[in-house]
């Protein structure tokens, strides 16, 4: 399957049993997500949308950008 704006990764295919669900997000590692003094640490280019994997109480565990293939 290909992750898209309307298609989140399937929870049952996650290797991490702590993934409880997903919510839409922007790339948390993009330079725009950092304050000015830390922008050098982020990725550049267009900031991508995708799905943030969440644990049972809403803590972020990982990011799956739109267009990523999940086997």
3-state class (DSSP) for residue 19: coil
Q: What is the pLDDT of residue 15?
A: 78
Distance CA 51, CA 29 (A): 13
Question: What is the per-residue pLDDT across 3-52, written as a single tens digit (0 to 9) for each?
Answer: 999 999 998 878 788 999 999 999 999 999 999 999 999 999 999 999 99
Distance CA 2, CA 57 (A): 26
Half-sphere exposure (Cβ direction) of 36: Cα atoms closer than 13 Å: 0
Q: What is the pLDDT of residue 71?
A: 84
Residue 55's pLDDT band (cuts 50, 70, 90): very high
Q: Are 1 and 69 in contact (CB under 8 A)?
A: yes
Strands 60-65 and 21-26 come out as: unpaired
Q: What is the pLDDT of residue 16?
A: 81
């Amino acid at each position: 399957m290909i992750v898209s704006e309307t298609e989140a990764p399937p929870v049952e295919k996650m290797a991490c049993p702590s993934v409880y669900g997903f919510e839409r997000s922007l790339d948390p590692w993009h330079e725009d997500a950092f304050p000015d003094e830390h922008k050098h640490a982020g990725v550049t280019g267009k900031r991508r949308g995708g799905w943030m994997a969440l644990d049972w109480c809403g803590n972020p565990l990982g990011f799956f950008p739109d267009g990523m293939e999940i086997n």
